[in-house]
Chain A
């Protein structure tokens, strides 16, 4: 097999390349347009403020929200922390006696950690299990909601398996119980249509670098009617209606805005093309590797993700044997520490099975040649492992 002249990047759930059109939109803000968006006293500041507000409109449009409901943050991790800790701490500060907060075992680490932090502050976090397909059983949520609950947080799309939860149904259950509903949509933006009104949710987190924008910027949707109140993580200059102090990074915000605009405009087109690529990759690989298993609900998953358990070789071994292919064993955050994925464990895979599992993330810039290379390289790596 011929080696490619560059690494083949199929890890689009860890991060996506910055779209050249996003970079283009950001460039002027790397040069002569450097004002602080809060400096509305002069033209430099007003210029930056106008750009930030335009970007806010694009982000709002991506999820069907109003611009005034968008709070810019440093990324989805901060958005998730702000949503979960902010909602719980605010409720307590106004005398709400409820302490129960509910999430799911397969959430992103920052959601689980926010919940555990709140546990140390006297809240009562509940971590619901998922089925073998990665889906949360609505009945489990219903049972958990029998006790008065402050907040439910369920991710729209899982970062390891691409499984899509039925957010509208889950949100309706939470609201019927008088409970706030938050969703981490970092992996959902641009992958599936999002409509905060139709979904009827209160809080939603987005990330820039998962939708072909820059790292270091994200957003939190905070519903206005009925108004959702949060205690900020930190305060200061009072930017973002006091919910998020600190100078807004105009270039990054502009990048996020452009990425959101493109995500909305090209969601369907991307999805169709990426589905074709995924089908092609899976067909080739399944033919070459009998017993290959796809994890996660077959009918509720995003186009760009394949979470594959190989019958024989470990993921580490496969990655070593295919050095030009950039895939991963799970979430990037903790991937430096090689430990079995808690997401897969929650879906019932054994530690050993989880150790034979790879995450492949196909994205907007993946070509047919890229997936063909991936199939060939992984099949060869698996055959080599078998022979050894």
Chain B
């Protein structure tokens, strides 16, 4: 089986595995004051320091969560007290969309990039707002001009939340220099285990908000509950390794894309800057579900979009927002994991060409 669904979950990095097993051998609760408690606390704080050093924040400005979804929800909860107007990108993850159901939607162009001219117009007219824009899209890999969006937000006194779940470890960024108010990270998208995530906060918004999950005062009162020590240790180790080893997936992705194009695919979002591991391939006239099933039978694991809502393949709001029309239901996501090989891509190319030829022939 060839795994090309990294945007759903990256394979666990060996360094993460080692860190997790070490943490699981540690008996204490990080809030306990005795020796085992302090040892557990050290694991937690080392992870916090490593992550904030790697992504550009102060250790006190990081809140550990159960994952990217909770981090996004916490950001919107913490940054939008009262009646602040909320604006979110049209292609945001469901975690952001669900946290701001009343939000104004910022459109994207046909390649999937957020329209900053419209953002500027809205901010100029409406004044202070909370803006949520993802760094990289989970379905297409399309990158938004986040630094520019952050500058715009600062100019108009707006706060920017950045969902960097898919970007982290795949493109370089620094939270402090970015100038956003908050940024969400997820462990299992950088090659750590699922079950851990983090919210980075700018110093001016880092304290004094009501938690989503209240409890024993952990995380400086911003997130209750005994932290997921082993998952957090794995998260930090994976992020460190991901940032220390620049991705070389671009040529592999391009090869996969070229093969798919030759077989009749249309690449969505190809004109925009993208993550180098992701491509969205549409075969006109063929349902995405049919393609994914055919590839699964051929031993290739890909997806028809976001993994979240499992089973039910709804038409992608991301591709619809890009104006993909009928192609929105005919596109699959191929996302190369950090350990993808040339051979994986060759086998994908062969399987894809065979699948496309067979299904297109049958459809004709």
Contact = CB atoms under 8 A, between A and B. Distances in A.
Q: Do A and B bind each other?
A: yes
Interface of A: 7, 9, 11, 14-15, 17-18, 23, 26-27, 30-31, 34-45, 49, 73-78, 80-81, 108-110, 113-114, 117, 120, 207, 209, 214-217, 233-239, 245-252, 319, 323, 326-328, 331-337
B116 interface: no
A45 B218 contact: no
B95 A245 contact: yes
Contacts of B311: 40
Contact of B94 (A39, A40, A236, A337): A236
Interface stretch (B31-39, B170-178, B270-278, B320-328): B31-39
B35 A246 contact: no
B73 A236 contact: yes
A331 B231 CA distance: 23
A246 B27 contact: no
Given A209-B226, A236-B73, A335-B32, 19 more contacts: A9-B27, A30-B193, A34-B188, A35-B9, A36-B8, A36-B194, A36-B307, A41-B301, A45-B5, A74-B195, A77-B226, A214-B231, A233-B212, A236-B308, A246-B66, A246-B68, A246-B70, A247-B194, A333-B31
A209 to B, nearest CB: 6
Interface in B29-50: 29, 31-37
A43 B212 CA distance: 35
Given A110-B225, A247-B188, A332-B31, A38 B216 contact: no
Nearest to B189: A247
B215 A238 contact: no
Contacts of A331: 216
B269 interface: no
A108 B308 CA distance: 32
B363 interface: no
Interface string B274-303: 000000000000000100110010001111
Contact of A217 (B24, B34, B186, B195): B195
Interface of B: 1, 3, 5, 8-12, 16-17, 20-21, 24-25, 27-29, 31-37, 65-70, 72-74, 77, 93-95, 98-99, 186, 188, 193-196, 210, 212-218, 224-232, 289, 292-293, 296, 300-304, 306-311, 313
Given A252-B195, A333-B31, A216 B3 contact: no
Contacts of B310: 37-40, 49, 239
A216 to B, nearest CB: 2
A18 B20 CA distance: 12
Contacts of B94: 235-238, 245
A7 B33 CA distance: 13
Contact of B308 (A42, A110, A209, A237): A237
27 contacts: A9-B28, A11-B34, A14-B32, A15-B32, A31-B17, A37-B310, A38-B8, A38-B308, A39-B8, A40-B310, A40-B311, A44-B1, A74-B65, A74-B66, A75-B226, A81-B212, A109-B217, A113-B214, A215-B228, A234-B77, A236-B93, A236-B95, A247-B67, A247-B68, A247-B69, A249-B194, A252-B193
A17 B224 CA distance: 21
Contacts, number: 285
Contacts of B72: 236
B230 A215 contact: yes
A234 B99 contact: yes
Contact of A34 (B12, B67, B217): B12
Nearest to B77: A234
A249 B195 contact: yes
A11 B32 contact: yes
Contacts of B309: 38, 237-239
A245 B28 contact: no
B228 A333 contact: no
Nearest to B24: A18
A120 B210 CA distance: 11
Given A30-B12, A249-B231, A234 B98 contact: yes
Most buried by A among B69, B292, B293, B310: B310
Contact of A335 (B31, B227, B231): B31
A38 B94 CA distance: 14
A15 B28 contact: yes
Contacts of A237: 69, 94-95, 306-309
A78 B66 contact: yes
Contacts of B3: 42, 44
B34 A333 contact: no
A108 B224 CA distance: 11
